Amino acid sequence: MASCKLGHIYIVDTVLTKPAKEKFALCVCISDRYFVWINTNPAPHGKDQLFLPAGCHHLVKHDSYLDLSRIVCHPNGN
pLDDT tens, residue by residue, 12-32: 888 878 898 888 999 998 888
* Amino acid identity for residue 9 in this structure: I
- Tell me how far apart the alpha carbons of residues 54 and 27 are, in angstroms, rounded to a whole number: 19
Whole-structure pTM over 0.85, yes or no?
A: no
Q: Domain map of the chain by residue range?
A: 9-73
Whole-number average pLDDT of the chain? 87
